[in-house]
Amino acid sequence: MKTREYCVTQVITNGICIIVTICAILPFILLVIASFTDDSWAALHGFTFFPGKWSLTAYQYIAAKWATIGRAYLMTLVVTAIGTLASLFISVLFAYGISKQNVAGMKIISFLLIFTMLFNGGLVSTYYCYVKIWGIKDTIWALVVPNLMMNAFNVILIRNYFVNSIPASLEEAARIDGAGEFKILGWIILPLSKPIIATIGLMTLLVYWNDWQNGLYYLTARNGADYFTIQIVLNNINEDIRAISAAVTTGTMTAGVSLPSTTIRMAIAVVGVLPILVLYPFFQRYFVKGITLGGVKE
């Protein structure tokens, strides 16, 4: 039987959750409304939930460049798919290896993994290695390999999940039946690790989808434009509009058209975030469980 204290606690908890949810949703609603607001009206009155004048000018500007944006979307999907699958493959194998602390050398490898979380070689040395040794400049691998393919934090989360959430007796029983390490990993460990794999997969997907820095470092407009992703293209559009607006303001250029310099940024943000909002509900049920169980310390 539910007590009075229990009911009060539930009401307070649900109220707090509703308030937090509203606070999280309202910025996205304002973002969408702002992208449909008339640019001149927004410049005078700012962004509100009830703008005095609506406009599609920002999206018309993006639509005019859709040939470039559409190709960038396709490239983003390809890069995100390749990078996420490769990252999960490497991270799972690495995590499974260091979860076997009874194997000689695994503690040293674990230390080296954690060491990379504290120190790195810096941007200059990293750039030199990727460009001069690996030769990834102006290739699709410039968006897949640098700083993204494996993350030490993700490996530790997966490793902790393997150790704390999967009974060792299952592996022992499989070995008694003659199963090898790869069969144990593929038929026992991975099916029981869907929450952490979905969680790490979503986190990695977000990193690849939103990445534009590697394109800035390793892709040039002359030879690497074919590999521009949506974030790079939208950032370039944003910078172009900013430069044109600054030129018009200073009088060095005559404005032939009215550029939506304010609302275009909101429209660009909507275009960039929409696919993630569509995918997130399918992963959400695994996300909290994966982080909670993967973050548990032995």
Instruction: Express each pLDDT in 141-178 by its tens digit.
Output: 989 988 777 788 888 888 888 888 888 888 888 888 88
Asked whether residue 42 carries a pLDDT value surpassing 80, the answer given is yes
Residue 225 confidence (pLDDT): 82
Question: If pLDDT is split at 50, 70 and 90, which confidence band does 223 have?
Answer: confident
Asked whether residue 297 carries a pLDDT value surpassing 50, the answer given is no
Question: If pLDDT is split at 50, 70 and 90, which confidence band does 288 have?
Answer: low
Residue 294 confidence (pLDDT): 47
Residue 180 confidence (pLDDT): 84
Residue 293 confidence (pLDDT): 52
Residue 92 confidence (pLDDT): 92
Query: What is the fold, at CATH topology level, of the domain defined by 65-294?
Result: MetI-like fold (1.10.3720)
- Written as one string, the DSSP assignment of the chain is ---HHHHHHHHHHHHHHHHHHHHHHHHHHHHHHHHTB-HHHHHHH---SS-SSB--HHHHHHHHTHHHHHHHHHHHHHHHHHHHHHHHHHHHHHHHHHT-TTSTTHHHHHHHHHHHHH---HHHHHHHIIIIIS--TTSGGGTTSTTTS--HHHHHHHHHHHHHHS-HHHHHHHHHTT--HHHHIIIIITGGGHHHHHHHHHHHHHHHHH--HHHHHH--TTTSGGG--HHHHHHHHHHHHHHHHHHHHHTSS--SS---TTHHHHHHHHHHHHHHHHHHHHHHHHHHHHHHHHT---
Q: How far is CA 141 from the centre of its chain?
A: 17
| Contact yes or no for 100/166 (Cβ under 8 A) | no
Rounded to two decimals, what is the model's pTM?
Answer: 0.78
**Could you read off the pLDDT of 109-149 as tens digits, one per residue?**
888 888 877 877 777 888 888 888 888 898 999 899 887 77
Ordered by start, the domain boundaries in the chain are: 65-294
> What would the mean pLDDT of 192-211 be, rounded to a whole number?
87
Count of residues making up the chain: 298
Residue 88 confidence (pLDDT): 92
* Phi and psi angles of residue 91, each rounded to the nearest 5 degrees, phi first: -65, -40
Neighbours of 71 (CB within 10 A): 17
**Could you read off the pLDDT of 28-37 as tens digits, one per residue?**
899 899 889 8
* Mean pLDDT, the chain, whole residue set: 81
CA distances 184 to 93, 196, 218, Å, are 12, 17, 39
CA distances 1 to 6, 7, 65, Å, are 10, 11, 62
Question: If pLDDT is split at 50, 70 and 90, which confidence band does 19 have?
Answer: very high
Tokens 């169980």 correspond to 293
Residue 295 confidence (pLDDT): 45
